[in-house]
């Protein structure tokens, strides 16, 4: 009994069925508690006023936008090395979720930036690399859609994901060279002393947990849909031959 057996499509459908409603429920709970706590029961920042509260959407979305790409990279590697179909489908399923998180991060950042920096958009390294990440997601999804044969599509998108990861990291540091930005440094980390204060930190943690759970739930749901779509296609092909 190895962990790879869970990647068998039938087993995957089996164990995700009970997990799915729980992950959705937990995600909903965490997001409701985190957002309400963050929006209504934390004090305003003394310089930023109540605009600081957008952090509860912005930071988790940005975090998950990057993590979604990393998850796609891992899934692509698993597909290339061990050829588990569920893995390729999970990578495909994660891409649109990642796009939406990227857009949420960009939009909430713009909404916060207008009163704080006086502009919705600046060509700041962090903002720019998020825009580039957005373009990478678009190209990845477009390549999936363009190729008809599912195995070829899975192979090609995996290679694109790997090459794209290298270039995404490269772009991240290239834009640092190109422009010094407005965006503040990381406001949370595990090892640094100067975190944001606990009042904001705990609801933020709950929100991050909510976004992680939401991502897991959405990806599981979309992967299940992809598996079902592929089963339907196989059945149709069989019916046509009969």
Partner 1 sequence: MIALLLRDLRLAFRAGGGFGLGLAFFLIVVVLVPFGVGPETELLSRIAPGILWVASLLAALLSLDRIFALDFEDGSLSLLATSPLPMEGAAMMKALAHWITTGLPLTLAAPALGFLLSLAPEAYAYLLVSLLLGTPALSMIGTFGAALTVGIRRGGLLLSLLVLPLYVPTLIFGAEAVRRGADGLDPTGALMLMAGITAGCFALLPFATAAVLRINLR
Positions that interact with partner 1 (CB under 8 A): 132, 135-136, 138-139, 142-143, 146-147, 152, 155-156, 159-160, 162-164, 166-167, 170-171, 174-175, 177-178
In the bound state with partner 1, the residue whose beta carbon lies nearer, of 20 and 131, is 131
CB of 219 to partner 1, least distance (A): 23
CB of 131 to partner 1, least distance (A): 9
Report d(CA 219, CA 38) in Å as an integer: 26
CB of 17 to partner 1, least distance (A): 33
CB of 101 to partner 1, least distance (A): 18
CB of 193 to partner 1, least distance (A): 33
CB of 117 to partner 1, least distance (A): 22
Range 102-135 burial, b when 16+ CB lie within 10 A, else e: bebbbebbbebbeebeeeeebebbbbbbbbbbbe
In the bound state with partner 1, the residue whose beta carbon lies nearer, of 81 and 232, is 81
Q: For 83-149, where are the alpha helices, taking DSSP H only?
A: 85-117, 125-146
In the bound state with partner 1, the residue whose beta carbon lies nearer, of 19 and 70, is 70
**Total residues belonging to the chain:** 242
In the bound state with partner 1, the residue whose beta carbon lies nearer, of 166 and 239, is 166
What number of other Cβ atoms are within 10 A of residue 182's Cβ?
A: 16
Q: 35 CB contacts (<8 Å, ≥6 apart)?
A: 56, 57, 203, 207, 210
In the bound state with partner 1, the residue whose beta carbon lies nearer, of 23 and 171, is 171
CA angle 25, 4, 63 (to 5 degrees): 45
3-class SS at 193? coil
Among 64, 55, 54, which residue's Cα sits nearest to residue 214? 64
């Amino acid at each position: 009994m190895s962990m790879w057996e869970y990647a068998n499509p039938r087993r995957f459908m089996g164990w995700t069925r009970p997990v799915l409603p729980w992950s959705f429920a937990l995600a909903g709970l965490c997001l409701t508690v985190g957002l309400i706590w963050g929006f209504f029961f934390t004090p305003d920042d003394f310089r930023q006023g109540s605009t600081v509260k957008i952090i509860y959407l912005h930071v988790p979305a940005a975090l998950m936008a990057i993590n979604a790409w990393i998850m796609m990279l891992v899934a692509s590697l698993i597909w290339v090395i061990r050829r588990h179909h569920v893995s390729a489908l999970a990578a495909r399923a994660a891409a649109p979720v990642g796009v939406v998180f990227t857009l949420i991060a960009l939009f909430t950042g713009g909404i916060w930036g207008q009163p704080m920096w006086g502009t919705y958009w600046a060509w700041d390294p962090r903002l720019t690399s998020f825009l580039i990440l957005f373009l990478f997601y678009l190209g990845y999804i477009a390549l999936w859609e363009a190729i008809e044969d599912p195995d070829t599509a899975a192979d090609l998108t995996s290679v694109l994901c790997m090459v794209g990861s290298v270039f995404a990291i490269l772009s991240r540091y290239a834009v640092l060279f190109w422009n010094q930005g407005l965006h503040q440094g990381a406001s949370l980390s595990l090892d640094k002393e100067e975190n944001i204060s606990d009042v904001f930190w705990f609801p933020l943690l709950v929100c991050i947990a909510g976004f992680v759970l939401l991502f897991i739930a959405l990806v599981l749901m979309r992967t299940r849909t992809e598996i079902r779509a592929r089963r339907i296609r196989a059945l149709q092909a069989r019916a046509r031959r009969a």
